């Protein structure tokens, strides 16, 4: 098969591992910088160009679209879909998961466990918003934040009010969420491929840090998840429409709650924690499922 990996950095662990896994299985693979792609958008001959040449004849693409380039990155993925190329994660699914508010609304509609979450535009009813989410301590998140950036723990109602007003003063859209204290600065990252959780690790935040992101100094270890956690992760990925997803779960007193569904999960932490060949499993999924025009959107939406 001829596979393109859409990645801005060929030195990233995840990108390198996907290349290795594909080549080990005899596939032709190329890394394509998403932002250097340009497109001919026509009715009958849609095409993608890269460094002066048309990217023709590809059987599949693996989008590794960073949050900062979601708009252009999903446009490139959508163009490949219009050309009939199989994408392991489709453009609509990536956009859906990147919009935190939309993602939470979709998960809530399907009955997935979540922290109590509030959203508002005006600061006129900030106190009502704080009470709606159960009062302090509260987690306040910028919708555009990733890897724990733009996430604040407000210990008191007054602190929450100040943070909300400061973020809105910057014209930032925010979510106000219940703080799951019993999680103890730990979360579970479930790596979902297809209809299966293929690997799971527990991430623990460094001392004094409520965020468990590995990018912020957290540590990880393999973990055996419960059937309910497994079911929750698979359902969350399916609701987003993602074939490959990192689903972040907290253990609360009322069962597993989903914090985020990531469309481009990093492979380094989970592979090193679990000693599993996740990159190989992704390529194997493509081998079994990649067919021309096999997309549920075909560039729509």
Number of H helices, E strands in the chain: 9, 16
Give the tens place of pLDDT for each residue, 124-178.
778 898 998 888 899 988 877 555 577 888 889 899 888 888 888 887 788 899 8
pLDDT of residue 267: 96
Rounded-to-integer distance, Cα 238 and Cα 242, Å: 6
pLDDT score for 298: 45
Q: What are the structural domain ranges in the chain?
A: 2-95+285-289, 117-179, 182-276
Query: How far is C-alpha 11 from the chain's CA centre?
Result: 20
Mean pLDDT across the chain: 89
What's the pLDDT at 299? 43
List, for the chain, all residue ranges whose pLDDT scores fall below the cut of 70.
145-148, 207-217, 295-301
**Contact predicate 73/63, CB 8 Å:** yes
Homologous superfamily (CATH) for 182-276: ATP-grasp fold, B domain (3.30.470.20)
* pLDDT, position 301: 44
Tokens of 301: 């939406």
Residue 257 β-bridge partners: 250
Given this model, what pLDDT does residue 123 score?
Answer: 74
Fold (topology level) of 2-95+285-289: Rossmann fold (3.40.50)
CATH label, 117-179, candidates 3.40.50.410, 3.30.1490.20, 3.40.190.10, 2.160.20.10: 3.30.1490.20
Contact present, 279 and 270 (Cβ < 8 Å): no
Pairing of strands 244-252, 219-222: unpaired
Letter string b/e over residues 223-247, b meaning 16 or more CB atoms within 10 A of that residue's CB: bebeeebbebbbbbbbbbbbbbbbb
């Amino acid at each position: 098969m001829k596979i393109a990996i859409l990645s801005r950095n060929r030195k990233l662990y995840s990108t390198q591992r996907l290349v290795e896994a594909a080549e080990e299985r005899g596939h032709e693979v190329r890394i394509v910088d998403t932002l250097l792609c340009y497109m001919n958008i026509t009715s009958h001959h849609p095409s993608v160009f890269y460094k002066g040449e048309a990217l023709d004849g590809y059987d599949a693409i693996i989008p590794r679209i960073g949050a900062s380039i979601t708009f252009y990155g999903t446009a490139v993925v959508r163009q490949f879909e219009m050309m009939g190329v199989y994408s392991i994660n489709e453009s609509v699914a990536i956009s859906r998961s990147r919009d935190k508010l939309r993602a939470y609304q979709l998960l809530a509609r399907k009955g997935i466990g979540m922290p109590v979450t509030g959203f508002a535009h005006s600061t006129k009813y900030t106190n009502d918003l704080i009470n709606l989410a159960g009062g302090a301590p509260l987690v306040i998140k910028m919708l555009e934040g990733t890897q724990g950036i733009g996430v604040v723990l407000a210990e008191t109602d007054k602190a929450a009010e100040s943070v909300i007003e400061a973020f809105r003063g910057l014209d930032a859209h925010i979510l106000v969420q219940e703080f799951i204290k019993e999680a103890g600065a730990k979360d579970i990252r479930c790596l979902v491929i297809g209809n299966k959780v293929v690997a799971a690790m527990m991430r623990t935040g460094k001392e004094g840090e409520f965020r468990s992101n590995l990018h912020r100094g957290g540590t990880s270890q393999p973990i055996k998840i419960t059937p309910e956690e497994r079911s929750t992760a698979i359902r969350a990925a399916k609701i987003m429409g993602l074939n490959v997803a990192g689903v972040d779960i907290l253990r609360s007193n009322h069962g597993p709650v989903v914090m985020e569904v990531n469309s481009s999960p990093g492979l380094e932490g989970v592979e090193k924690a679990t000693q599993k060949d996740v990159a190989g499993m992704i390529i194997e999924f493509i081998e079994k499922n990649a067919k021309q025009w096999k997309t549920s959107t075909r560039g729509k939406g």
